[in-house]
Chain A
Amino acid sequence: MKIKSPKDFWAGLMFMGFGVFFLVWAVLHYQMGTAVRMGPAYFPTMLGGLMAVLGLIVFLGSFAIEGPPVPEFSYRPLILISVGCVLYGYLMKPLGLVGATAALVYVSALGGHEFNWKEVTVLYIILMAFSWLVFVKGLTLPFPVWPEAFS
């Protein structure tokens, strides 16, 4: 068997994986109930099964119908953008808005095509000032501005 449509091959696998996971997890952990009084497992089991079947059709179809290859993943922006966002969230409490914004701006800027320290620093200062003015002063959101150690 030869995979003719790699996109469908992987999409089918993904749907099957999630579908089976939801189905099995629901069946094992929650009450099924009856059609009249549906338990917490009823709806997810149905949906999980449906999703797995749909995934299977897509999966099998990938051996029959020609399709384009999966375009290459750009891991650099994928990882750096995601990590930047996560850092922002988890650094907000210990390092304050100043530290969290710095982490997000510098890390995500590294995910782009060109990186220029001066440019990014100017951008950081502008974004920091804007965030502080609009969100902390203007909308009075309760963000710590400075790192915990300073206050």
Chain B
Amino acid sequence: MDPGILSNLWIGFQVAVSPWNLFYCLVGVLLGTLIGVLPGIGPVATIAMLLPITFNLNPIAALIMLAGIYYGAQYGGSTTAILVNIPGESSSVVTCLDGYQMARQGRAGPALAIAALGSFFAGCVATLIIAVAAPPLAEVALKFGPAEYFSLMVFGLVAATVLAHGSLIKAVAMVVFGLLLGIIGTDVNSGVLRFTFGVPELSDGIGFVQVAMGMFGTAEIISNLELKDKREIFTSKVTHLYPTKQDLKDAWASVLRGTALGSMLGILPGGGALLASFGAYTLEKKVSKHPERFGKGAIEGVAGPESANNAGAQTSFIPMLTLGIPSNAVMALMIGALMIQGIAPGPQVMNEKPQLFWGLIASMWVGNLMLVVLNLPLIGMWVKLLTVPYRYLYPSILVFMAIGVFSLSNNAFDVLIMALFGVLGYICVKLECEPAPMILGFILGPLMEENLRRAMLLSRGDPSTFVTKPISAGFIIASVILLVIVALPAIRKKREEVFVEEA
């Protein structure tokens, strides 16, 4: 191992253990767990809600807190999945399958413990992976010109649509929709106001906080209100938390496999925690000698996906930190948070702001440790929270969202935009159009246009520049291959199966 990594991590830990950063890390992971436990509100909406608050923090503290929310939500989501058979987060859908069965057999304690320990192990490994993999990647990225960046973004968007559920073509259309919405506002090159329709507030473009809160926040609340409030809580007390020796023996290999798979899938654009947990469950079922035990309380079915989703949540920071390209909606918000702080995300961040970069990485490890230490004793409290009826929760969530959006610039127009995107998001849910690819497109819209323009200017209008430059060509070829693979009937069927299991 490169000795530089150790000294870098040392810088990071010095930042991460400063009292205030520890405090924000704790706030982040607690909030994350809270929203992870509560079904119906996800990390995207929460991070969007808290963005305005981070204006007043320094960039390091802001990122540490927001990151804590993301991986904290993975921990919290599993608690609800195991005890209530409802995924608190989309990434813990598969944990319901075996986790809830374990709880019914009176083994909720070991299930929760193995989920937490597996996540912790995965978090440690993923932190190391980021520390090792990020610097060389950033070095490569520094050599990227506009053509490479454009192709990389194309690849990222293609990957995001491939991994979205449902119709591929609708996902691509949503990406394009997002790109178009993203370029509303003043054109940087010509100063022309595009698609602002004479509304002065639109000259800076539509804020992505408003878009994200509408699409993921209000739209989700409206959808939730359609369902009757019929949550069954697994009330029996959680006793004997500690897994038996047999449990550990059964689970350790699953934790390793889940961590490895999750770390890999997390790096992929569009990947992250959700895909990781599904992949890991499928893998566990495949390699198990007793696949018939799955769905009936197999501890491997909890250990694998839970490790994978936490590993994936963390390694999905890699493209964001090294390339400035978000791999999922949460990372898109993180980039937003950085930009609000006046930091342009990209490979230069690591060299120019080592404290920020390594501090964030070290804080992830610290946060994971906090989660494992805090969460197991606090399970009782989280379970109590689940008994709060939704009719109290959703007006509260709305108030926080409205305050957050209003405080962006003390302008009612921002709240109006959020409400409009809520309506759009609700329509999209009804028509089975995924909002996540749209958000990625929305973030990347201006960047893509800028890089396309520069690349074409450099090549004197010759579009072959995207395929004659080797790195750029590599991304384009990879995108095409991905699209072809997914369009193949056999794989399409498989992909549908995976997502059917989720529903």
Question: Which residues of A are in contact with B by a Cβ distance under 8 Å?
Answer: 7-8, 10-11, 14-15, 18-19, 22, 25-26, 30-31, 34-40, 43-44, 47-48, 50-51, 54-55, 57-58, 61, 70-71, 73-74, 77-78, 81-86, 88-90, 92-93, 100-101, 104-105, 108-109, 111-114, 119-120, 123, 127, 131, 135, 139, 141-143
Given A55-B173, A86-B416, A34:B399 Cβ within 8 A: no
5 extra A-B contacts, CB within 8 A, seeds A85-B218, A93-B412: A11-B173, A71-B430, A88-B406, A90-B412, A104-B395
- Are A85's CB and B422's CB within 8 A? yes
- Are A22's CB and B431's CB within 8 A? no
- Are B173's CB and A77's CB within 8 A? no
User: Which residues of B lie under 8 Å from residue A43 when comparing CB positions?
Assistant: 183, 448-449, 452-453
User: Which residues of B lie under 8 Å from residue A18 when comparing CB positions?
Assistant: 177, 180
Q: Mark B200-243, 1 if CB is under 8 A from A, else 0.
A: 00000000000000000010011001101100000000000000
Contact of B169 among A34, A58, A77, A123 (CB under 8 A): A58
In the complex, identify which listed stretch (B38-46, B280-288, B377-385, B455-463) lies at the interface while the others stay far away. Answer: B455-463
Closest to B429 in A: A71
Total B residues in contact with A, Cβ cutoff 8 Å: 66
User: Which residues of A lie under 8 Å from residue B194 when comparing CB positions?
Assistant: 26, 30, 40, 44
- Are A135's CB and B391's CB within 8 A? no
Closest to A120 in B: B395
Say if the beta carbon of B105 comes within 8 Å of chain A: no
Given A74-B222, A74-B226, A85-B218, A7:B431 Cβ within 8 A: yes
- Are B187's CB and A40's CB within 8 A? yes
Closest to B225 in A: A77
- Are B402's CB and A85's CB within 8 A? yes
Number of A-B contacts (CB under 8 A): 187
* Nearest-Cβ distance from residue A50 to partner chain B, whole angstroms: 5
User: Which residues of A lie under 8 Å from residue B170 when comparing CB positions?
Assistant: 8, 11, 15, 54, 58
- Are B399's CB and A109's CB within 8 A? no
* Nearest-Cβ distance from residue A83 to partner chain B, whole angstroms: 8
A-B pairs, top 4 by smallest CB distance, nearest first, are: A89-B415, A89-B412, A36-B461, A35-B461
- Are B456's CB and A135's CB within 8 A? no
- Are B431's CB and A127's CB within 8 A? no
* Nearest-Cβ distance from residue A147 to partner chain B, whole angstroms: 15
- Are A113's CB and B225's CB within 8 A? yes
Q: Mark B401-428, 1 if CB is under 8 A from A, else 0.
A: 1110111001111111011101100110
- Are B419's CB and A123's CB within 8 A? no
Q: Mark B86-121, 1 if CB is under 8 A from A, else 0.
A: 000000000000000000000000000000000000
State in angstroms the CA–CA spacing of A83 and B422 once bound together: 11
Question: Which residues of B are in contact with A by a Cβ distance under 8 Å?
Answer: 53, 56, 167, 169-170, 172-173, 176-177, 179-180, 183, 187, 189-190, 192, 194-195, 218, 221-222, 225-226, 228-229, 390-392, 394-396, 398-399, 401-403, 405-407, 410-416, 418-420, 422-423, 426-427, 430-433, 448-449, 452-453, 456-457, 460-461, 463
- Are A11's CB and B432's CB within 8 A? yes
- Are A82's CB and B218's CB within 8 A? yes
User: Which residues of A lie under 8 Å from residue B167 when comparing CB positions?
Assistant: 8, 58
User: Which residues of A lie under 8 Å from residue B405 when comparing CB positions?
Assistant: 89
State in angstroms the CA–CA spacing of A79 and B15 once bound together: 47
User: Which residues of A lie under 8 Å from residue B422 when comparing CB positions?
Assistant: 81-82, 85
State in angstroms the CA–CA spacing of A135 and B402 once bound together: 12
User: Which residues of B lie under 8 Å from residue A135 when comparing CB positions?
Assistant: 403, 407
- Are B180's CB and A113's CB within 8 A? no
User: Which residues of A lie under 8 Å from residue B190 when comparing CB positions?
Assistant: 31, 39-40
- Could you pull out 29 A-B pairs where Cβ atoms are within 8 angstroms? A7-B430, A7-B431, A8-B167, A22-B180, A25-B195, A31-B190, A36-B456, A40-B187, A40-B194, A51-B173, A51-B177, A55-B173, A73-B426, A81-B225, A81-B422, A82-B419, A85-B418, A89-B414, A89-B416, A93-B412, A104-B399, A105-B398, A108-B395, A112-B225, A113-B228, A123-B392, A127-B399, A131-B399, A143-B406
State in angstroms the CA–CA spacing of A102 and B190 once bound together: 45
* Nearest-Cβ distance from residue A41 to partner chain B, whole angstroms: 8
User: Which residues of A lie under 8 Å from residue B406 when comparing CB positions?
Assistant: 88-89, 92, 143
Given A22-B180, A82-B218, A86-B415, A37:B457 Cβ within 8 A: yes
Which secondary structure dominates where chain B touches chain A? helix
State in angstroms the CA–CA spacing of A114 and B427 once bound together: 24
State in angstroms the CA–CA spacing of A73 and B430 once bound together: 8
Which secondary structure dominates where chain A touches chain B? helix
Closest to A84 in B: B398
- Are B53's CB and A139's CB within 8 A? yes
State in angstroms the CA–CA spacing of A85 and B190 once bound together: 35
User: Which residues of A lie under 8 Å from residue B418 when comparing CB positions?
Assistant: 85
Contact of A15 among B173, B221, B390, B399 (CB under 8 A): B173
State in angstroms the CA–CA spacing of A10 and B169 once bound together: 14
State in angstroms the CA–CA spacing of A4 and B456 once bound together: 43
Closest to B192 in A: A40
* Nearest-Cβ distance from residue A150 to partner chain B, whole angstroms: 19
Which of A48, A71, A86, A89 has the most chain B CB atoms inside 10 A of its CB? A89
* Nearest-Cβ distance from residue B460 to partner chain A, whole angstroms: 6
Given A14-B431, A105-B395, A105-B399, A88:B192 Cβ within 8 A: no
Contact of B423 among A11, A47, A54, A78 (CB under 8 A): A78
* Nearest-Cβ distance from residue B5 to partner chain A, whole angstroms: 37
* Nearest-Cβ distance from residue B428 to partner chain A, whole angstroms: 8
User: Which residues of B lie under 8 Å from residue A31 when comparing CB positions?
Assistant: 190, 192
Given A14-B427, A54-B173, A86:B457 Cβ within 8 A: no
Contact of A36 among B176, B187, B460 (CB under 8 A): B460
State in angstroms the CA–CA spacing of A50 and B190 once bound together: 23
User: Which residues of A lie under 8 Å from residue B177 when comparing CB positions?
Assistant: 15, 18, 51
User: Which residues of B lie under 8 Å from residue A8 when comparing CB positions?
Assistant: 167, 170, 431
* Nearest-Cβ distance from residue B45 to partner chain A, whole angstroms: 13
